Structure 1
Amino acid sequence: MTGWVGVGWEGVGWDGWRDVGGIRALLDAGADPEGAGWGWRPLHRAARYGSPEVVAELARRVPDVDAVEEGATALWEAVLADRPDNARALVAAGADPWRPQLGGWSPGRLALAGPVPDLFPVPLGQPGLTAAERAAAERGHRLVAALGDFYYDGTGLACVAGIDAAEAIRRLGAVQAEEEFMADYLDDPLAFSMDECLLIAGVTTVPGGCVVTQPWGYTPFTPGAMARLTAGTVGYGLYANPKSGNQGNVFRDGAEEGWDLHPGGGPHPGGSAEEVLTGYLYRHRAVAEACAFAGLDPADARAVTGPADVWIRLPDVDWWAR
């Protein structure tokens, strides 16, 4: 018997949701399979993080396998987390893949946009993806694969449609940084003051537009930078704040259109059908979401991580002012 077994769920760590013996012992000891007083249904947690054996054990103990938590069923959680074996276990226990949930999407229809599109047989009369949704899914998978996995905490970005690096530099009033300085800077950025670091950025042309990156700061994301960059076009700003998570904004033709966005955060209750699909395709992939919004199609992560096409010095102005 595992060391965390008791009558509540508080001691179950991430690995515990894959320990069917431990979960069974916890349930037999009196833990509520509905999670009363805990704040989150155990079946939802197991669907997202656990094993199919644990999912099946919990599913046979709850009165309603399609009970809702924050607008979604456990099956939705399994699909959202790309856990097809857990999804199959839930369907075997009676879960309904075609029950509409966030944004009108059902788990079955959402799965059509995921990595296992044949996860559930589509019943006669159930709509598949629209042409636009299928194109969005294909673009999302391509972008996520192209960018891959990389560390970007602390990075500020501006993804801008329809302009190249030279035009971005002109709009920002920047100049190319000296080669010798950049060699020293990139060798040890911590040797320089934060004020100086925030005025050094990289600019790279990519298919569809350009990316302004600052792997050590937030300047490209600021209102002043975004307003200048998006005159006559549109852009998505991102700051991967190490303290509070990903922060996003949208500027169109120099004006702020969206602020306090949370790219990569996944679908949320109250989102539109389009927002739910975007949240699913780019969950935990904030950079890909920013690129997708601006219509950029980078071949890899170089435009974000460097080396940039051009390293620049920005003018010393108040970038928080528009």
Structure 2
Amino acid sequence: MRGFHELHLAAAFGTADEVAALISETEDIDVFFEGRTALWQAVNARNHVSAALLLAAGADPARPMMSGWSPARLSLATDHPLPTTEVLTQQERAAIAERDRLVAALAGVPEFDGYSIACVAGIDADEAVRRLEAEVLPPGEVPAQLDWWEEPFADDTEVVVGVTDVPGGCVVVQPWSYAASLPVVTRPLSAGTVTYSMYANPKSGNQGSIDRDGAAVDRDLLPGGRSVEDDGTAGVFLAHLYVHEPIAYCCAYTGLRPENPRAFTGPDRWVLLPDRIRWDL
């Protein structure tokens, strides 16, 4: 019998044939791997064909796991709910509605790698610029929208970021590199509040970080990716809602409510970070 983690991976990302073959080789269809069953994986990944195959093979949709999120209860947030007597709370239903609104609002953000962002709760762009000790650049010196400067790795380019007000806080973005996600940027921004930053690393995928009150809370996170049981009831649900939506996840975590993609595609202002930040590049 092959390792049970293969079934869990196939349930999330595999084809119907792959899942069916692994089901036939599995003695316990509800075996846990990293705190969840294969059915939970299928529901979380919206792999509805795999979920149907696992249910037909006897997988238990009501089995408790992941901080109270059984596969059946988790499925209530998808377009293919499983039969269940469980219900979502009013707050959870509101979170689903906000997810739908937020994902639609950010639909104009191009899909590419190499950018970095910091979503900052509770402060506006003016305060962000002050905390960063940054210099606002004149309009004639701003880079083309989501494009490279003539010298994309020139010294000044590496320490230029865009800053934009959005409902709930502000967004710092660097379309071409990782400066917006550096601790030397996110720590001062998080004083008295919280930031969720991300670098879309072309080599290793999205790398998320949380800072609160001027100190790191967590690093090497995967926004828009997998959740862990230690995230708690609300954290597991938030990760599920924003699977494959990393930018929206960063906004949702910090309570930002952008109404359009402008903060990520055409920032209100471009600023030059101070020389001390160059040492962290």
Tell me the TM-score range normalised by the shorter chain.
0.7 to 0.9
TM superposition shift of 1:217? 1.9
- Per the normalisation by structure 2, the TM-score is 0.86
**Alpha-carbon distance in structure 2 between the residues aligned to 1:58 and 1:262:** 27
1:179 to 2:179 alignment: no
Gaps of 5+ in 2: none
Return the letter of the residue paired with 1:79: V
Query: Quick check: 2:8–2:38 contact (8 Å CA) kept in 1?
Result: yes
3-state SS, counterpart of residue 240 of structure 1: strand
CA deviation string 1:91-132 (max 9, x = no partner) = 12221111112223210011112233xx22223xxx322233
Query: Quick check: 1:152–1:215 contact (8 Å CA) kept in 2?
Result: no
1:35 to 2:10 alignment: no
* Equivalent pairs, count: 279
Query: Quick check: 1:224–1:320 contact (8 Å CA) kept in 2?
Result: no
* Alignment partner of 1:300 out of 257, 260, 268: 260
Return the letter of the residue paired with 1:213: V
Residue of structure 1 in register with 2:13 after alignment = 49
Mapping for residues 226-265 of structure 1, pairs under 5 Å: 226-265=186-225
Query: Quick check: 2:72–2:82 contact (8 Å CA) kept in 1?
Result: yes
CA deviation string 1:43-92 (max 9, x = no partner) = 43442234446544553554332233333222112101102232123212
Mapping for residues 266-277 of structure 1, pairs under 5 Å: 266-277=226-237
TM superposition shift of 1:35? 1.6
Higher RCO (CA-CA < 8 Å; seq separation 6+): 2
Query: Quick check: 1:225–1:319 contact (8 Å CA) kept in 2?
Result: no
**Alpha-carbon distance in structure 2 between the residues aligned to 1:198 and 1:291:** 24
Residue of structure 1 in register with 2:120 after alignment = 160
Residue of structure 2 in register with 1:87 after alignment = 51
**Alpha-carbon distance in structure 2 between the residues aligned to 1:137 and 1:186:** 30
Query: Alpha carbons of 1:192 and 1:59: their partners in 2 closer, same or farther (altered >3 Å)?
Result: closer
TM superposition shift of 1:307? 1.3
- Per the normalisation by structure 1, the TM-score is 0.76
Higher alpha-carbon Rg: 1
Query: Quick check: 1:223–1:319 contact (8 Å CA) kept in 2?
Result: no
Residue of structure 2 in register with 1:113 after alignment = 77
Structural RMSD (CA): 2.7
* Alignment partner of 1:138 out of 62, 80, 97: 97
TM superposition shift of 1:187? 5.8
Residue of structure 2 in register with 1:66 after alignment = 30
Percentage identity across aligned positions?
46
Query: Quick check: 1:47–1:77 contact (8 Å CA) kept in 2?
Result: yes
Query: Quick check: 1:236–1:248 contact (8 Å CA) kept in 2?
Result: yes
3-state SS, counterpart of residue 199 of structure 2: strand
Q: Between 53-62 and 150-159, report the one with greater CA deviation.
A: 53-62
Query: Quick check: 1:263–1:290 contact (8 Å CA) kept in 2?
Result: yes
Residue of structure 2 in register with 1:151 after alignment = 111
